Each structure stands twice: as structure tokens, then as C-alpha cells.
Structure 1
Amino acid sequence: MGKSLIEIAQQLKESDKKVQLIYGFNGNGKTRLSKEFRLLVAPKNDTETDETGLASKKIIYYNAFTEDLFYWDNDLANDIDLKLKIHPNSFTEWVLNEQGQDQNVISHFQNYTDRTLTPKFNSDFSEVTFSYERGNEEPSPNIKVSKGEESSFVWSVFYSLLNQVIDVLNIAEPSERETDQLNQLKYVFIDDPVTSLDDNHLIQLAVDLAHLIKKSDSELKFVITTHNPIFYNVLYNEVNKKTCYMLGRKEDGTFELEEKPGDSNKSFSYHLHLKNTIEEAIENNQVQKYHFTLLRNLYEKTASFLGFPYWSDLLPDNKEAYYNRIIQFTSHSTLADSSAAEPSPQEKQTVRLLFDHLINNYSFRKEA
């Protein structure tokens, strides 16, 4: 029997493990789980507000809502003064203004992106501009970075914050810490950090995060969710004192959190789980819009394994029409619309056709 995300959040909260590592496909509720967990740890009617500063905070988290703290002023009138603005909040106020970690943020950001791409904070750390600085060349000031680079910047701020938090809490005696503002902090929840990175930088990010977790000697507990098997496997191999799970979404809209020993290759055959999930939905006439996401993931993994540069190369004739249909149903805005109607019979037939095409033409072993 499935559970609600609130029930799963309660299960995670009650665990005594230092690290809980959760794998889940896109569209399976990871970001919503992070929200439910945050509300469970720090309810809205609790005394925790941003006006109280860090002193009442019980959880810090990185997810899509964290990125919403950063937004662009595009200077629509002149298209010259482009800057990334930061909503006032206690965490960036502490790590940037009070702890002076701006140079570390810049260094981390350049490690994950480009050494010549340079952020520059204003004096009160309420906004940041970006420029390319290539030696003797004329710098390119006030550029708008890509969405992936923006996510890398937000992560670099969070990483610097987490590093400082761990250093403070590692001092066992609260009275000897440089600040008492973090004494109530109990949890760190990280949901899919910077998935747009290439594999090398993603591995480096996972290794860096594992280093922080391993150096944490306090009672701080970590919950980490991801859909990326590389990121998952690096953390699995680098971090001790962990419990690993797979988050699944059932056909009735409930969820399951299944404990899984081993890395992603041993504990859940990624492509086979996708295949079985889609196959079951087709057989039971229970195809939903999120099955387009699973189908796309299956195409992506098969293309990568077989050496095709694009997953769309595996599509049947009339590739563009099928490609556009899948893209339409796998956009984040479409999946996020919980009120959207279920797929039409024709759309369900498209899932069946594309699934059968992949299974029949690319050497999947048939079940007896």
C-alpha cells in the first residue's frame, strides 16, 4: 500500500541515520517531498520566520524554491545593466555579509563552470553581475549567464553556507561556538543540485558534497534526493552511515519509499525499472502524463548505452512529430500542473507505439 509524501517525510524525519540518500525519476515527487519535509520540521505556524534570523532555523534546504531566491533584472529599457538579484533572506545575509564568504562562492562557481566567468557582488550583497575576464582581452561585462550557470552559482552560495554551518556546529560545546544562531539546526535537505552540469563537474560536485558530509561531526542529518545515477553512485561510494532508498510513484497517485542496498547499478536496474513501470501502465491502461517522462528517460539511457548522440535518433519514422510530442509532455511546467487532464486515448497509444518500437528494435530481452 502506498503512502503520502507527508508520511514519507515523517519516516525520513524519524530515522536515526546521518545520511538518507534517495533516488527517484523526474516527476516522482522529489521536490514536493523536500517541501513536505521542510514543513514537517518547521511548520508555517512555528516561531520560525525570516525576520527572526538564523536563531530559530531547524532546517536548511536546497531545491527549486532555493533558486527562486535569485531572479534577474534584465534592464528591459536598455538591455545593458543585467544583474542577478537576491531576495533578502537570513541565510545569504549570514554567509555573505556576516561570514564574508563571497570569494569562496566565486571560487566554487568557477570550479564548476569557467575560470574566466567572474561574478561580482555589489556592496550589500543584494545583487551580482557576471563578466568574462580573459587576460589581456577586453572584459565582457554584465552578461546574462545560462540557466545552468545560474544554478551553479546558487549552488555555490549554498555550498559555502553549508561549509560554514558544519564548521560552526563541529564545535561540540555550544558556548564555545562563534555564534549561537545555528544551535537549533537539525537537518539539511538537498534536492537534485545542478543537474545541468557535465559528468566531470557533476562528479566533482558530488565529491565536494561528500567531503562536507564526512567532515560533519555534529548531530546534523542529511537527506539528499536525485534523479541522476552518476551523482547517486558517487555519494553512495563516498559517504558512510547512510540508508539508501528509491522513491516511486504508484498508479493511484500515492508513493513508496523502498530501501535499496548498493549503488544504482546493483540495487535498481535503472533501465529495467523504467521498462517495467511503463509496461505495467500500458497493460493496465493506466498511462499518465508522467509516463512520457519515463519513456523519454528510457530512450535517453538506451541511446547513451548504444552510442547514439541523441535519444531522438532512436525514434521511428516521422521523428520530429514524435519528438515534439514527447517534449510537450516532459516539460517541467506540464508535469507541475497537477490539474491537467489525463492523456487522451491517442496519446496513450503514442506511448504504447514508442515503447514497443524501442523494445522491438533495440535488443531488449523479451520476458518469457
Structure 2
Amino acid sequence: MNRVIIYFMGLSLTGIAEQLKNNNKKVQLIYAFNGVGKTRLSREFKELVNPKHSEEEDNSPIKFLYYNAFTEDLFVWDNDLDGDENRKIIIQPNNFTNLAFGFLKEQGQDGNIANHFKHYTHSSITPKINDDFSEVTFSILRGGDDSINNIKISKGEESNFVWCIFYSLIEQIVEVLNIADANDRSTNDFDHLEYIFIDDPVTSLDENHLIELAVDLAQLIKNSKSEVKFIITTHNPLFYNVLYNELDLKNGYMLELQDDNTYKLTEKKGDSNKCFSYHLFLIQTIKKAIDSNNVQKYHFILLRNLYEKTANFLGYPKWSELLPDDKKLYYNRIIQFTSHSTLSNEIVAEPTEPEKQTVKFLLNHLINNKYYKESSK
């Protein structure tokens, strides 16, 4: 039977941060609604691990890195209102931007920022960072005279660009720290790093890229062999759910703001979907795609997720046991679209019309028979 355990009640955000630090876990995944205090929690946690007074010391070691709304605030648009031509993002210099760009350039990996940006947006937009890392311009490169320079990108694309800077940074840090002997590392700047705190990097991604980002982030965390610990907060149920499953976590948390303005952190064990009504969320998402005839590959991922969570909650050892009579046929069809090798590339073709009908049939099968009715009790 699933258990819900209330650990911390009536605490300040500082108290919640202290409890998270005392947990001493490799990964802690936290769900919270917007406005509850995820960003403030990241700041409180930073003060515990790396207070401002120590941060200001020139030779103080790097113990803490975080991504949150403050990270995005370091990137400000200059829209060239007079000429309306030279639009660019001005990068506000601080410890993070100096560290990120300097380290990536030193490692010869600064080009990864543009690669990640284009990967997650599937966009022809190419960012260009100037040599002293003070500004960024964006262009659509089409060859010849058809290229469009100095365009202004959307707020969502901008957020994704900033995330790609941070992701490129921690990707290289993980690789460096995976070298056990500090004397063999290309840099010792991160030898004392204790925590990486990530707050909602997915505010503007579509579901397909959101799943892809979650899978990639989970794989990066699993690749980390050092003592660095990760705390991830999000308001997005799908992002939470993909991370929870990809990381094979045994528990997650839900952060809540109470009526007296104190905070409660609830530990969720067992079926994370049941805790956050993910069954309903996934069903609504798949139904919407079916109704608009817009079923894509990632909807097979969501369908499989729904079957897995329902089977787990009901105690079935294999989710395939919930499939209709010709279980092997339907199992193979779902596996074709959801194997890990196809989560983040284009190896498998887009679903055909009969395959889209398979999604509808399997969803209705789960909803209309005893399995889902049992799990909804």
C-alpha cells in the first residue's frame, strides 16, 4: 500500500531548506504550485550552503550552483528602439555568467550552448555570443542573402537559451568531477561543489521537448559519480513525473504554503501519479491529442506511463497485463515508440492513422474497464 508521510509542518522556508540539507540525498525532487515559494527556497538553500559573506571572498570555493528566475534576470534585451535593427541581449556580468562562459570557453565547449538551444527548440535560430561574453545576438541562417540577422526571439526561446547555458555548464562539471583523482582533472574549480539546485527550467517548452529535456537531465544526474547532490523543484506535473520515473526514485516531495504562511513538505512514497492526480492529467493530455487528431510519438510515452502507474498502484507485476487480449501485439506497438533509444531522436517514423487509433483504443480500454475504475477509488 502506498504511504503518504508528513515530515515537516509549520516551518519557514529556512527550516525547509535545513531539512532538505539534512536529508543528505543524491537527488531530491519537489513539486509545488506556482507562487508557493520554489525560487525563494533555492535562495534560502544557497544561504545555508554558501552564505553571501563567503561568496564575496575572492578565493572562497564554489559549493553551490543554482538555476532559477534570478538566473534569467541576468539577460536583458536591448531592442535598439532608435534604429530597430541591432537587437541583442545584454549579459549582466556576475559570478555565474563569468564562471559559466569562462569555464566553457576554457574547456572548448562554449559551442554546446548553441547546439543545445537548437536541439531543444528544433529551431533554425542560431545564437552568437561575442568574444567577451557581454552580449548575444540571434540570427536565422538560410544561406546567401536570405539570412535574417539580429532578430528578437520569444520569451520562451529566451528562457530556453538561458537554461542551455546552465545545462552546458553542469554537463561539463559532471564530466570533470567524474575523474576521481583531483590531480587529473582539467580544473579544480569545482572540487568543493556540494549542491546543484534547479528550479523550473521548463516553463515554456512544449510537451515533446519537455519530456526530452527531463530524460536528458535525468541521464546527466545518473552519470554523475561524484558527491554532488541535486535538488529539483517544479510546478509541472509531467516534468516531475518523467524525472521521477527516469531517476527511479523511491520518493518525492510536495511543498505547500499553509494558511498561516508557514510551509509544509510532504514526502510522497510509492505511486507518485496517485499523489498528484497524474492519472487524470495524463488522460486529459492524451484525450486532447486524440480529439484534435494530433497524436504524436510522445503520446505513446504518456500512454505507457499511464499503464505503468495504474499497474503499479493495483499491484500488477507487469503493466502489459492490463492490455487487451492480443497483449503481445499492443505491447510491441507501444514499445516501438517508447524505447529509450527513441525518446530524443527521429529514428521512428511519426504514427500512422491506424497507430493513432491504437492510442485511442488503448486509452479507452484502460478507462472503461475495471483497472482504471479500481485505481480511481
TM-score (norm 1): 0.71
Query: Quick one: which of 128, 136, 151 aligns to 2:136?
Result: 128
1:52 equivalent in structure 2 = 58
Q: CA deviation at 1:123?
A: 1.7
Tell me how far 1:135 sits from its aligned partner: 4.5
Match of 1:234 in 2: 242
Change (3 A) 1:158 1:168: same
Post-superposition shift, 1:56? 1.6
Could you tell me how far apart the structure 2 residues matched to 1:252 and 1:271 are? Answer: 31
Q: 2:212 is matched by which residue type in structure 1?
A: Q
**Alignment partner, residue 324 of structure 1:** none
The match for 2:6 is none
| Aligned-residue offset at 1:68 | 1.2
1:75 matched to 2:80? The reply is yes
Contact 1:232–1:263 at 8 Å: present in 2 too? no
Decide whether the 8 Å contact of 2:36 with 2:257 is kept in 1: yes
2:29 alignment partner in structure 1 = 21
Counterpart CA distance in 2 for 1:256 and 1:270 is 21
- Choose the corresponding residue for 2:102, options 94, 111, 119: 94
Residues in 1 aligned to 2:48 and 2:273: alpha-carbon distance in whole angstroms? 32
Q: Does 1:207 align with 2:215?
A: yes
What corresponds to 1:179 in structure 2? 187
Alignment of 1:213-362 (within 5 A): 213-240=221-248, 243-262=251-270, 264-269=272-277, 307=288
Counterpart residue type for residue 91 of structure 1? L
Q: Secondary structure at the match of 2:138?
A: strand
Matched, 1:5 2:13: yes
Could you tell which deviates more after superposition, 128-137 or 249-258?
128-137
- Is 2:166 the partner of 1:158? yes
Distance 1:302 1:254 in 2: 33
| Counterpart residue type for residue 79 of structure 2 | N
Distance of 1:216 and 1:304 partners within structure 2: 33
Runs of 4+ in structure 1 off by over 3 angstroms are 240-243, 300-309
Whole-angstrom CA distance in 1 between matches of 2:114 and 2:195: 26
Tell me the amino acid that sits aligned with residue 52 of structure 1: D
Deviations 1:304-353 (A, max 9, x none): 687499xxxxxxxxxxxxxxxxxxxxxxxxxxxxxxxxxxxxxxxxxxxx
Conserved 8 A contact 1:236-1:263: no
Q: Encode CA deviations 1:15-71: one digit per residue, 9 max, x unaligned.
A: 1210000001111111111111111111112x223x737x62111100001111111
- Could you tell me whether the CA contact under 8 Å between 2:237 and 2:276 is conserved in 1? no
Partners of 1:177 and 1:167 in 2: how far apart?
9
- Of residues 106, 119, 122, the one that matches 1:114 is 122
What is the CA distance between 1:302 and its match in structure 2?
Answer: 10
Aligned to 2:192, the other structure's residue is in SS state coil
* Structure-2 change in CA distance of 1:301 and 1:209 (3 Å): closer
Q: What's the CA shift string for 1:207-239, capped at 9, x where partnerless?
A: 110111000000000000001111101110111
Is it true that 1:42 corresponds to 2:50 in the alignment? yes
Correspondent of 1:31 among 27, 35, 39: 39
The runs of 5 or more residues in structure 2 that have no matched partner are 1-8, 292-377
CA distance in 2, matches of 1:189, 1:200: 24
Distance 1:105 1:263 in 2: 36
Looking at structure 1, the residues matched to 217 and 249 of structure 2 have their Cα atoms a distance apart, in angstroms, of: 15
Distance 2:10 2:102 in 1: 40
Partner deviation per Cα, 1:168-188 (whole Å, 9 max, x = no partner): 111112222111111111000
Residue 330 of structure 1 is matched in structure 2 by: none
Distance 1:241 1:58 in 2: 25
1:97 touches 1:124 (CA, 8 Å); kept in 2?
A: no
Distance 1:28 1:270 in 2: 20
**SS at the partner of 1:2?**
strand
Alpha-carbon distance in structure 2 between the residues aligned to 1:210 and 1:137: 41
Does the 8 Å CA contact 1:229/1:264 hold for their aligned counterparts?
Answer: no
Deviation at 1:96, TM superposition (A): 3.6
Return the alpha-carbon distance in structure 1 between the equivalents of residues 123 and 283 of structure 2: 34
**Preserved CA contact (<8 Å) 1:17 1:243:** no
Whether 1:191 aligns to 2:202 is no
Q: Provide the rounded CA distance (Å) in 1 between the counterparts of 2:91 and 2:271.
A: 37
User: Hey, what's the Cα distance between the residues in 2 that align with 1:221 and 1:36?
Assistant: 16
Report how far residue 202 of structure 1 moved: 0.5
TM-score by length of 2: 0.69
Secondary structure of the 2:174 match is helix
Q: Which residue of 2 aligns with 1:347?
A: none
* Residue in structure 2 matching 1:85, options 84, 90, 98: 90
What SS does the corresponding residue of 1:128 show, helix, strand or coil?
A: strand
Secondary structure class of the residue paired with 2:266: strand
Rounded to whole Å, the distance in 2 between the matches of 1:174 and 1:60 is: 20
How far the C-alpha of 1:158 sits from its partner, in A, is: 0.4
For 1:31, the aligned partner's letter is T
1:233–1:263 CA contact under 8 A, matched in 2:
no
